[in-house]
Amino acid sequence: MRPSILHRLLRRVASTAALALVAATLSTVGAAPPAAAAGGLQQVTGFGTNPGNLQMYEYAPAGLPANAPLVIALHGCTQTANGYYTNSGWPKYADLWGFAVVFPQTTSANNPLSCFGWFDPAEDSRGKGEAASIVQMVEHAKQRHGSDARRVYVTGLSAGGGMTADLLAAYPDVFAGGSVASGLPAQCATSQAAASGCQTGPQKLTPAQWGDKVRGSYPGYSGPWPRVAIWQGTSDYTVYPANATALRDQWTDVWGIGRSPSSTDTLPGNTTRSIYNDASGKPAVETYSVSGMGHGLAVSPGSGTDQCGTTAAYFLNAVCSTYYTGVFWGLDQGTPGGGQLPAPAGLQVTGVTANSVSLSWNAVPDAASYTVHRNGTKVASPTATTYTDTGLTAGTAYRYTVAAIDGSGTPGTTSPQVTATTNGSTPGQCFTATNYAHVSAGRAHTTGGSVYANGSNENMGLYNVFVTHTLKESPAGYFVIADSGCAT
Protein backbone atom coordinates (compact mmCIF):
# COMPACT_ATOMS: atom_id res chain seq x y z
CA MET A 1 0.00 0.00 0.00
CA ARG A 2 1.43 3.39 -1.02
CA PRO A 3 2.18 5.75 1.88
CA SER A 4 -0.25 8.42 0.61
CA ILE A 5 -3.12 5.92 0.65
CA LEU A 6 -2.12 4.75 4.11
CA HIS A 7 -2.10 8.30 5.42
CA ARG A 8 -5.55 9.04 4.03
CA LEU A 9 -6.92 5.86 5.59
CA LEU A 10 -5.37 6.64 8.96
CA ARG A 11 -6.94 10.10 8.94
CA ARG A 12 -10.33 8.62 8.06
CA VAL A 13 -10.34 6.06 10.87
CA ALA A 14 -8.77 8.23 13.57
CA SER A 15 -12.07 9.84 14.53
CA THR A 16 -13.63 6.41 15.12
CA ALA A 17 -11.04 5.15 17.62
CA ALA A 18 -9.52 2.74 15.10
CA LEU A 19 -5.94 3.85 15.69
CA ALA A 20 -5.53 0.68 17.72
CA LEU A 21 -3.32 -1.72 15.80
CA VAL A 22 -4.13 -0.24 12.38
CA ALA A 23 -0.76 -0.69 10.76
CA ALA A 24 -0.71 -4.43 11.31
CA THR A 25 -4.03 -5.15 9.71
CA LEU A 26 -4.71 -2.87 6.77
CA SER A 27 -4.25 -5.67 4.28
CA THR A 28 -7.53 -7.22 5.34
CA VAL A 29 -9.65 -4.14 6.01
CA GLY A 30 -13.27 -4.77 5.12
CA ALA A 31 -13.18 -8.51 5.75
CA ALA A 32 -16.74 -9.39 6.70
CA PRO A 33 -17.60 -11.74 9.54
CA PRO A 34 -18.66 -15.21 8.43
CA ALA A 35 -22.37 -15.50 7.69
CA ALA A 36 -22.29 -19.00 9.14
CA ALA A 37 -19.72 -20.74 11.27
CA ALA A 38 -17.63 -23.43 9.65
CA GLY A 39 -15.90 -26.64 10.70
CA GLY A 40 -17.43 -27.15 14.12
CA LEU A 41 -17.60 -23.51 15.17
CA GLN A 42 -21.15 -22.59 16.16
CA GLN A 43 -22.76 -19.22 16.71
CA VAL A 44 -24.61 -18.79 20.01
CA THR A 45 -27.35 -16.18 20.36
CA GLY A 46 -29.30 -14.90 23.33
CA PHE A 47 -26.36 -15.08 25.73
CA GLY A 48 -27.34 -11.90 27.60
CA THR A 49 -28.17 -8.24 27.23
CA ASN A 50 -24.93 -7.83 25.25
CA PRO A 51 -24.14 -4.17 26.00
CA GLY A 52 -21.03 -4.34 23.83
CA ASN A 53 -22.86 -5.49 20.67
CA LEU A 54 -20.62 -8.55 20.19
CA GLN A 55 -21.26 -11.91 18.57
CA MET A 56 -20.60 -15.21 20.35
CA TYR A 57 -19.14 -18.27 18.67
CA GLU A 58 -17.99 -21.43 20.41
CA TYR A 59 -16.34 -24.78 19.88
CA ALA A 60 -17.07 -27.63 22.29
CA PRO A 61 -15.83 -31.19 21.68
CA ALA A 62 -18.43 -33.95 21.62
CA GLY A 63 -18.93 -35.63 24.98
CA LEU A 64 -17.40 -32.75 26.95
CA PRO A 65 -17.68 -33.66 30.65
CA ALA A 66 -19.05 -31.34 33.30
CA ASN A 67 -16.52 -29.22 35.21
CA ALA A 68 -14.20 -28.95 32.22
CA PRO A 69 -12.18 -25.74 31.74
CA LEU A 70 -13.37 -22.87 29.56
CA VAL A 71 -11.18 -20.70 27.31
CA ILE A 72 -12.13 -17.33 25.80
CA ALA A 73 -10.11 -16.47 22.66
CA LEU A 74 -10.14 -12.92 21.25
CA HIS A 75 -9.18 -12.16 17.64
CA GLY A 76 -7.11 -9.20 16.43
CA CYS A 77 -8.19 -6.23 14.30
CA THR A 78 -9.89 -7.12 10.98
CA GLN A 79 -9.92 -10.76 11.99
CA THR A 80 -13.00 -12.87 12.75
CA ALA A 81 -13.93 -15.56 15.22
CA ASN A 82 -13.80 -18.11 12.39
CA GLY A 83 -10.31 -17.02 11.36
CA TYR A 84 -9.03 -17.29 14.92
CA TYR A 85 -10.71 -20.69 15.31
CA THR A 86 -9.12 -21.91 12.05
CA ASN A 87 -5.56 -20.70 12.58
CA SER A 88 -4.79 -20.43 16.31
CA GLY A 89 -4.71 -24.11 17.25
CA TRP A 90 -7.21 -23.88 20.10
CA PRO A 91 -9.63 -26.50 18.68
CA LYS A 92 -6.82 -29.08 18.61
CA TYR A 93 -6.21 -28.79 22.33
CA ALA A 94 -9.90 -28.52 23.12
CA ASP A 95 -10.22 -32.00 21.57
CA LEU A 96 -6.99 -33.32 23.10
CA TRP A 97 -7.41 -32.02 26.64
CA GLY A 98 -11.17 -31.59 26.91
CA PHE A 99 -12.47 -28.04 27.25
CA ALA A 100 -14.77 -25.58 25.48
CA VAL A 101 -13.58 -22.45 23.65
CA VAL A 102 -15.63 -19.29 23.16
CA PHE A 103 -14.59 -16.98 20.32
CA PRO A 104 -16.15 -13.51 20.82
CA GLN A 105 -16.38 -11.44 17.68
CA THR A 106 -16.61 -7.71 17.17
CA THR A 107 -17.42 -6.21 13.79
CA SER A 108 -17.13 -3.00 11.82
CA ALA A 109 -20.40 -1.91 13.44
CA ASN A 110 -18.35 -1.36 16.61
CA ASN A 111 -15.08 -0.31 15.00
CA PRO A 112 -14.21 0.20 11.30
CA LEU A 113 -11.34 -2.29 11.64
CA SER A 114 -13.21 -4.73 13.89
CA CYS A 115 -10.86 -4.03 16.80
CA PHE A 116 -11.90 -4.78 20.37
CA GLY A 117 -12.04 -1.50 22.31
CA TRP A 118 -9.06 -2.05 24.63
CA PHE A 119 -8.48 1.73 24.71
CA ASP A 120 -12.06 2.81 25.51
CA PRO A 121 -13.24 2.92 29.16
CA ALA A 122 -16.82 2.51 27.93
CA GLU A 123 -15.85 -0.87 26.44
CA ASP A 124 -13.07 -2.37 28.59
CA SER A 125 -14.17 -1.54 32.16
CA ARG A 126 -15.91 -3.81 34.65
CA GLY A 127 -19.62 -3.96 33.93
CA LYS A 128 -19.39 -1.97 30.71
CA GLY A 129 -19.56 -2.51 26.96
CA GLU A 130 -17.61 -5.26 25.28
CA ALA A 131 -16.03 -6.45 28.54
CA ALA A 132 -19.47 -7.01 30.06
CA SER A 133 -20.63 -8.83 26.92
CA ILE A 134 -17.65 -11.19 27.10
CA VAL A 135 -18.36 -11.99 30.74
CA GLN A 136 -21.98 -12.68 29.81
CA MET A 137 -20.62 -15.18 27.27
CA VAL A 138 -18.59 -16.78 30.05
CA GLU A 139 -21.66 -17.16 32.26
CA HIS A 140 -23.73 -18.53 29.39
CA ALA A 141 -21.04 -21.05 28.42
CA LYS A 142 -20.59 -22.16 32.04
CA GLN A 143 -24.30 -22.88 32.26
CA ARG A 144 -24.44 -24.49 28.82
CA HIS A 145 -21.52 -26.85 29.39
CA GLY A 146 -21.32 -27.11 33.18
CA SER A 147 -17.84 -25.57 33.02
CA ASP A 148 -15.64 -25.27 36.10
CA ALA A 149 -15.91 -21.67 37.31
CA ARG A 150 -12.41 -21.94 38.81
CA ARG A 151 -10.83 -22.75 35.45
CA VAL A 152 -11.90 -19.98 33.07
CA TYR A 153 -9.09 -18.44 31.00
CA VAL A 154 -8.81 -15.67 28.41
CA THR A 155 -6.34 -15.14 25.60
CA GLY A 156 -6.07 -12.70 22.73
CA LEU A 157 -3.92 -11.36 19.91
CA SER A 158 -3.07 -7.70 19.30
CA ALA A 159 -6.22 -5.66 20.08
CA GLY A 160 -7.61 -8.90 21.49
CA GLY A 161 -4.48 -9.08 23.64
CA GLY A 162 -5.08 -5.56 24.90
CA MET A 163 -8.66 -6.49 25.79
CA THR A 164 -7.37 -9.68 27.46
CA ALA A 165 -5.19 -7.63 29.81
CA ASP A 166 -8.11 -5.31 30.57
CA LEU A 167 -10.40 -8.28 31.30
CA LEU A 168 -7.86 -9.82 33.66
CA ALA A 169 -7.68 -6.52 35.52
CA ALA A 170 -11.42 -5.83 35.57
CA TYR A 171 -12.54 -9.41 36.27
CA PRO A 172 -9.84 -11.22 38.29
CA ASP A 173 -12.70 -13.00 40.05
CA VAL A 174 -13.80 -14.54 36.73
CA PHE A 175 -10.51 -15.46 35.01
CA ALA A 176 -7.96 -17.80 36.57
CA GLY A 177 -5.37 -16.97 33.94
CA GLY A 178 -4.67 -15.06 30.76
CA SER A 179 -2.34 -14.95 27.79
CA VAL A 180 -1.53 -11.67 26.03
CA ALA A 181 -0.05 -12.12 22.54
CA SER A 182 1.47 -9.01 20.91
CA GLY A 183 -0.76 -6.96 23.18
CA LEU A 184 -0.77 -4.05 25.60
CA PRO A 185 -0.68 -3.62 29.39
CA ALA A 186 -4.01 -3.32 31.16
CA GLN A 187 -5.38 0.22 30.92
CA CYS A 188 -2.39 1.45 28.92
CA ALA A 189 -4.69 3.81 27.01
CA THR A 190 -7.98 5.32 28.06
CA SER A 191 -8.65 7.32 24.91
CA GLN A 192 -8.22 6.97 21.16
CA ALA A 193 -5.52 9.64 21.22
CA ALA A 194 -3.39 7.59 23.59
CA ALA A 195 -3.82 4.26 21.79
CA SER A 196 -1.19 4.76 19.10
CA GLY A 197 1.38 5.94 21.64
CA CYS A 198 0.88 2.78 23.69
CA GLN A 199 1.60 0.63 20.66
CA THR A 200 4.93 2.22 19.84
CA GLY A 201 6.04 2.90 23.39
CA PRO A 202 3.88 2.65 26.51
CA GLN A 203 4.11 5.24 29.23
CA LYS A 204 7.27 5.15 31.29
CA LEU A 205 5.60 4.06 34.52
CA THR A 206 7.07 2.27 37.52
CA PRO A 207 5.97 -1.32 38.16
CA ALA A 208 3.87 -0.06 41.07
CA GLN A 209 2.13 2.45 38.80
CA TRP A 210 1.41 -0.26 36.25
CA GLY A 211 0.15 -2.49 39.05
CA ASP A 212 -2.11 0.29 40.29
CA LYS A 213 -3.86 0.28 36.92
CA VAL A 214 -4.86 -3.33 37.59
CA ARG A 215 -5.81 -2.75 41.20
CA GLY A 216 -7.85 0.31 40.22
CA SER A 217 -9.86 -1.71 37.70
CA TYR A 218 -11.66 -3.59 40.49
CA PRO A 219 -11.22 -1.54 43.68
CA GLY A 220 -11.17 -3.54 46.88
CA TYR A 221 -10.27 -6.85 45.26
CA SER A 222 -7.21 -8.43 46.89
CA GLY A 223 -6.78 -11.76 45.11
CA PRO A 224 -6.24 -14.42 44.07
CA TRP A 225 -4.82 -12.94 40.88
CA PRO A 226 -4.77 -14.52 37.42
CA ARG A 227 -1.63 -16.24 36.17
CA VAL A 228 -0.46 -14.39 33.09
CA ALA A 229 1.52 -15.46 30.01
CA ILE A 230 3.02 -12.74 27.77
CA TRP A 231 4.00 -13.48 24.15
CA GLN A 232 6.01 -11.00 22.08
CA GLY A 233 8.08 -10.98 18.90
CA THR A 234 11.36 -9.07 19.11
CA SER A 235 10.80 -7.61 15.61
CA ASP A 236 7.25 -6.44 16.20
CA TYR A 237 7.03 -2.84 14.97
CA THR A 238 3.27 -2.57 15.41
CA VAL A 239 3.08 -3.34 19.12
CA TYR A 240 6.63 -2.72 20.27
CA PRO A 241 8.40 -5.16 22.63
CA ALA A 242 8.38 -2.46 25.33
CA ASN A 243 4.77 -3.48 25.89
CA ALA A 244 5.82 -6.97 26.95
CA THR A 245 8.20 -5.42 29.47
CA ALA A 246 5.42 -3.21 30.81
CA LEU A 247 3.09 -6.21 31.04
CA ARG A 248 5.73 -8.13 32.99
CA ASP A 249 6.26 -5.19 35.35
CA GLN A 250 2.51 -4.79 35.79
CA TRP A 251 1.67 -8.36 36.69
CA THR A 252 4.74 -9.16 38.77
CA ASP A 253 3.90 -6.07 40.83
CA VAL A 254 0.30 -7.23 41.23
CA TRP A 255 1.58 -10.60 42.41
CA GLY A 256 4.13 -8.93 44.70
CA ILE A 257 7.10 -10.73 43.18
CA GLY A 258 10.40 -9.54 41.73
CA ARG A 259 11.23 -8.72 38.13
CA SER A 260 14.23 -11.04 37.99
CA PRO A 261 13.12 -14.39 36.55
CA SER A 262 13.13 -17.45 38.77
CA SER A 263 14.31 -19.44 35.76
CA THR A 264 14.88 -19.06 32.01
CA ASP A 265 14.90 -21.67 29.27
CA THR A 266 14.81 -21.99 25.48
CA LEU A 267 11.86 -23.31 23.49
CA PRO A 268 11.45 -24.06 19.77
CA GLY A 269 11.34 -21.19 17.29
CA ASN A 270 14.15 -19.20 18.95
CA THR A 271 11.85 -18.55 21.88
CA THR A 272 13.12 -17.59 25.33
CA ARG A 273 10.82 -18.31 28.24
CA SER A 274 11.30 -16.47 31.53
CA ILE A 275 9.39 -17.72 34.58
CA TYR A 276 8.47 -15.59 37.59
CA ASN A 277 7.40 -17.72 40.54
CA ASP A 278 4.98 -16.73 43.27
CA ALA A 279 5.79 -17.01 46.96
CA SER A 280 4.98 -20.74 46.92
CA GLY A 281 7.39 -21.42 44.05
CA LYS A 282 4.75 -21.81 41.32
CA PRO A 283 4.82 -19.79 38.08
CA ALA A 284 2.65 -16.69 38.33
CA VAL A 285 3.93 -14.81 35.27
CA GLU A 286 5.74 -16.14 32.22
CA THR A 287 7.18 -14.17 29.31
CA TYR A 288 7.90 -15.68 25.89
CA SER A 289 10.19 -13.64 23.65
CA VAL A 290 10.27 -14.96 20.06
CA SER A 291 13.47 -13.81 18.39
CA GLY A 292 12.95 -12.20 14.96
CA MET A 293 9.17 -12.59 14.95
CA GLY A 294 6.99 -9.68 13.86
CA HIS A 295 3.43 -8.83 14.83
CA GLY A 296 1.20 -11.85 15.25
CA LEU A 297 0.39 -15.05 17.11
CA ALA A 298 3.14 -17.68 17.13
CA VAL A 299 2.02 -21.00 15.61
CA SER A 300 3.87 -24.13 14.51
CA PRO A 301 1.94 -26.25 11.99
CA GLY A 302 2.39 -30.00 12.39
CA SER A 303 0.98 -33.13 13.99
CA GLY A 304 3.15 -33.20 17.11
CA THR A 305 1.58 -32.61 20.49
CA ASP A 306 3.47 -29.33 20.81
CA GLN A 307 2.65 -28.22 17.25
CA CYS A 308 -0.46 -26.34 16.22
CA GLY A 309 -2.14 -23.82 14.01
CA THR A 310 -2.02 -22.68 10.42
CA THR A 311 0.14 -19.89 9.03
CA ALA A 312 -1.78 -16.91 7.70
CA ALA A 313 -1.71 -13.15 8.04
CA TYR A 314 -0.64 -12.51 11.66
CA PHE A 315 -0.35 -16.24 12.42
CA LEU A 316 3.41 -16.64 12.20
CA ASN A 317 5.44 -19.84 12.00
CA ALA A 318 7.67 -20.02 15.08
CA VAL A 319 6.41 -22.01 18.07
CA CYS A 320 2.98 -23.20 19.15
CA SER A 321 2.09 -20.51 21.65
CA THR A 322 -1.28 -22.16 22.25
CA TYR A 323 0.36 -25.38 23.48
CA TYR A 324 2.70 -23.67 25.92
CA THR A 325 -0.06 -21.37 27.14
CA GLY A 326 -2.33 -24.35 27.76
CA VAL A 327 0.38 -26.19 29.70
CA PHE A 328 1.08 -23.07 31.77
CA TRP A 329 -2.61 -22.93 32.70
CA GLY A 330 -2.71 -26.66 33.45
CA LEU A 331 -5.16 -27.52 30.66
CA ASP A 332 -3.11 -30.62 29.84
CA GLN A 333 -4.22 -32.01 33.22
CA GLY A 334 -0.87 -31.03 34.67
CA THR A 335 -0.25 -28.21 37.09
CA PRO A 336 1.10 -24.73 36.43
CA GLY A 337 4.46 -25.01 38.14
CA GLY A 338 4.02 -28.58 39.32
CA GLY A 339 3.63 -29.82 42.87
CA GLN A 340 -0.18 -29.76 42.86
CA LEU A 341 -2.03 -31.77 45.48
CA PRO A 342 -3.87 -34.82 44.13
CA ALA A 343 -7.63 -35.03 43.81
CA PRO A 344 -9.49 -36.18 46.92
CA ALA A 345 -10.54 -39.81 46.47
CA GLY A 346 -13.78 -41.36 47.61
CA LEU A 347 -16.10 -38.39 47.14
CA GLN A 348 -19.60 -39.66 47.90
CA VAL A 349 -23.06 -38.51 48.84
CA THR A 350 -23.79 -39.58 52.41
CA GLY A 351 -27.26 -38.14 52.76
CA VAL A 352 -29.95 -35.95 51.22
CA THR A 353 -33.04 -34.14 52.46
CA ALA A 354 -35.48 -31.89 50.64
CA ASN A 355 -33.08 -28.94 50.96
CA SER A 356 -29.63 -30.37 51.74
CA VAL A 357 -26.92 -32.70 50.47
CA SER A 358 -24.22 -34.22 52.70
CA LEU A 359 -20.83 -35.21 51.26
CA SER A 360 -17.69 -36.94 52.45
CA TRP A 361 -14.29 -37.74 50.92
CA ASN A 362 -10.88 -39.14 51.84
CA ALA A 363 -8.25 -36.86 53.35
CA VAL A 364 -5.39 -35.63 51.16
CA PRO A 365 -1.96 -35.47 52.86
CA ASP A 366 -0.67 -31.89 53.28
CA ALA A 367 -4.08 -30.37 52.56
CA ALA A 368 -4.80 -27.29 54.66
CA SER A 369 -8.46 -27.19 53.57
CA TYR A 370 -10.75 -28.15 50.71
CA THR A 371 -13.04 -26.37 48.26
CA VAL A 372 -16.46 -27.73 47.44
CA HIS A 373 -18.01 -26.76 44.11
CA ARG A 374 -21.69 -27.11 43.30
CA ASN A 375 -22.52 -27.00 39.57
CA GLY A 376 -19.05 -25.51 38.92
CA THR A 377 -19.34 -22.70 41.51
CA LYS A 378 -17.47 -22.64 44.82
CA VAL A 379 -19.85 -22.97 47.79
CA ALA A 380 -17.59 -23.81 50.76
CA SER A 381 -14.00 -24.17 52.04
CA PRO A 382 -14.16 -26.71 54.87
CA THR A 383 -11.10 -27.97 56.73
CA ALA A 384 -12.83 -31.29 57.47
CA THR A 385 -13.48 -34.05 54.93
CA THR A 386 -17.25 -33.70 55.22
CA TYR A 387 -19.68 -30.98 54.23
CA THR A 388 -23.43 -30.45 54.20
CA ASP A 389 -24.78 -28.10 51.53
CA THR A 390 -28.02 -26.46 52.63
CA GLY A 391 -30.68 -24.14 51.26
CA LEU A 392 -31.23 -26.26 48.17
CA THR A 393 -34.37 -26.81 46.11
CA ALA A 394 -36.38 -29.96 46.64
CA GLY A 395 -36.40 -32.52 43.85
CA THR A 396 -33.39 -30.96 42.10
CA ALA A 397 -30.17 -32.57 40.87
CA TYR A 398 -26.84 -30.97 41.89
CA ARG A 399 -23.28 -31.75 40.72
CA TYR A 400 -20.40 -31.66 43.21
CA THR A 401 -16.61 -31.77 43.03
CA VAL A 402 -13.94 -31.26 45.70
CA ALA A 403 -10.31 -30.10 45.50
CA ALA A 404 -7.61 -29.98 48.18
CA ILE A 405 -5.97 -26.65 49.05
CA ASP A 406 -2.33 -26.54 50.16
CA GLY A 407 -0.83 -24.25 52.79
CA SER A 408 -0.20 -21.48 50.24
CA GLY A 409 -3.83 -21.45 49.13
CA THR A 410 -3.19 -23.20 45.80
CA PRO A 411 -5.97 -25.61 44.75
CA GLY A 412 -5.07 -29.14 43.71
CA THR A 413 -6.59 -31.43 41.10
CA THR A 414 -10.38 -31.56 41.08
CA SER A 415 -12.08 -34.80 42.10
CA PRO A 416 -14.41 -36.76 39.85
CA GLN A 417 -17.93 -35.40 39.95
CA VAL A 418 -20.83 -36.87 41.93
CA THR A 419 -24.50 -36.01 41.47
CA ALA A 420 -27.10 -35.79 44.23
CA THR A 421 -30.84 -35.18 43.91
CA THR A 422 -32.68 -33.63 46.81
CA ASN A 423 -35.81 -35.36 48.10
CA GLY A 424 -39.34 -34.57 46.97
CA SER A 425 -40.62 -31.06 46.63
CA THR A 426 -42.44 -28.55 48.79
CA PRO A 427 -45.42 -27.15 46.84
CA GLY A 428 -46.34 -23.62 47.74
CA GLN A 429 -42.74 -22.49 48.23
CA CYS A 430 -41.70 -19.14 46.76
CA PHE A 431 -38.30 -18.34 45.27
CA THR A 432 -36.98 -14.87 44.42
CA ALA A 433 -33.86 -14.85 42.26
CA THR A 434 -32.38 -13.69 38.98
CA ASN A 435 -33.39 -15.44 35.79
CA TYR A 436 -29.91 -16.96 35.62
CA ALA A 437 -30.28 -18.36 39.17
CA HIS A 438 -33.77 -19.74 38.47
CA VAL A 439 -32.44 -21.67 35.48
CA SER A 440 -29.42 -22.90 37.47
CA ALA A 441 -31.73 -24.15 40.25
CA GLY A 442 -34.01 -26.03 37.84
CA ARG A 443 -37.08 -23.79 38.26
CA ALA A 444 -36.96 -22.41 34.72
CA HIS A 445 -35.45 -23.11 31.33
CA THR A 446 -34.13 -21.16 28.36
CA THR A 447 -35.33 -21.00 24.77
CA GLY A 448 -33.86 -18.60 22.22
CA GLY A 449 -32.23 -16.42 24.87
CA SER A 450 -35.40 -15.99 26.96
CA VAL A 451 -36.33 -17.73 30.21
CA TYR A 452 -39.58 -19.61 30.82
CA ALA A 453 -40.95 -20.92 34.12
CA ASN A 454 -41.03 -24.71 34.31
CA GLY A 455 -44.57 -26.04 34.21
CA SER A 456 -46.48 -22.85 33.38
CA ASN A 457 -44.02 -21.86 30.63
CA GLU A 458 -44.59 -18.18 31.48
CA ASN A 459 -42.11 -15.83 29.80
CA MET A 460 -39.72 -14.35 32.41
CA GLY A 461 -37.64 -12.21 30.04
CA LEU A 462 -33.98 -12.40 29.04
CA TYR A 463 -31.58 -15.03 30.34
CA ASN A 464 -29.21 -12.95 32.47
CA VAL A 465 -28.34 -11.88 36.00
CA PHE A 466 -30.12 -8.54 35.79
CA VAL A 467 -33.79 -9.60 35.60
CA THR A 468 -35.30 -10.85 38.89
CA HIS A 469 -38.62 -12.65 39.44
CA THR A 470 -40.44 -14.42 42.25
CA LEU A 471 -41.69 -17.90 41.33
CA LYS A 472 -44.25 -19.92 43.26
CA GLU A 473 -44.19 -23.70 43.04
CA SER A 474 -47.63 -25.33 43.08
CA PRO A 475 -47.99 -28.21 42.46
CA ALA A 476 -44.55 -29.83 42.66
CA GLY A 477 -42.43 -28.91 39.64
CA TYR A 478 -44.96 -26.35 38.36
CA PHE A 479 -43.83 -22.74 38.71
CA VAL A 480 -45.75 -19.51 38.11
CA ILE A 481 -44.59 -15.90 38.25
CA ALA A 482 -45.64 -14.35 41.57
CA ASP A 483 -43.97 -10.96 41.54
CA SER A 484 -47.01 -9.22 43.05
CA GLY A 485 -47.08 -11.46 46.09
CA CYS A 486 -46.53 -15.06 47.01
CA ALA A 487 -48.87 -16.33 49.69
CA THR A 488 -48.18 -19.95 50.55
Per-residue pLDDT tens listing for the chain (488 residues): 333 333 333 333 433 333 444 334 333 333 333 333 344 999 999 999 999 999 999 999 988 888 999 999 999 999 999 999 999 999 999 999 999 999 999 999 999 999 999 999 999 999 999 999 999 999 999 999 999 999 999 999 999 999 999 999 999 999 999 999 999 999 999 988 899 899 998 788 999 999 999 999 999 998 999 999 999 999 999 999 999 999 999 999 999 999 999 999 889 999 999 999 998 888 999 999 999 999 999 999 999 889 999 999 999 999 999 999 999 999 986 434 344 678 898 999 999 998 899 999 999 988 999 999 886 678 899 999 999 999 988 877 787 889 898 887 777 777 877 878 888 755 578 888 888 778 767 788 877 678 888 888 899 988 776 788 998 887 777 889 988 887 65
Buried-exposed string 253-291: b where 16+ CB fall within 10 A, e elsewhere: bbbebeeebbeeeebbbebebbbbbbeeebbbbbbbbbe
The structural domains of the chain, with segments of one domain joined by +, span: 3-329, 348-421, 430-481
| Fold for the domain defined by 348-421 | Immunoglobulin-like (2.60.40)
Residue 376's pLDDT is: 61
Query: Which residues on neighbouring strands pair with residue 44, listed in sequence order?
Result: 56
The predicted structure's pLDDT at residue 113: 93
Strand partners, 312: 315
Q: Evaluate whether 3-329 and 348-421 have a shared fold.
A: no
Question: Is there a catalytic annotation at residue 440?
Answer: no
Cα R_g (the chain), whole angstroms: 23
Of 1.10.150.20, 3.40.50.1820, 3.30.460.80, 3.30.2350.10, the CATH number of 3-329 is 3.40.50.1820
Task: Return the amino acid letter for 342.
Answer: P
Phi-psi region of 378 (alpha: psi -120 to 50; beta: other; left: phi over 0): beta
d(CA 355, CA 187): 45
Among 428, 423, 401, residue whose Cα is nearest residue 413: 401
CB 329 within 8 A of CB 177: yes
What is the C-alpha separation between 266 and 246, in angstroms, rounded?
22
pTM attached to this predicted model: 0.65
Strand extents, DSSP E, 300-383: 315-317, 348-352, 356-360, 369-374, 377-380
Q: What is the pLDDT of residue 342?
A: 81
pLDDT value at residue 460: 94
Catalytic residue among 114, 158, 182, 262: 158
pLDDT at 479: 86
Helices (H), 126-172: 129-145, 159-170
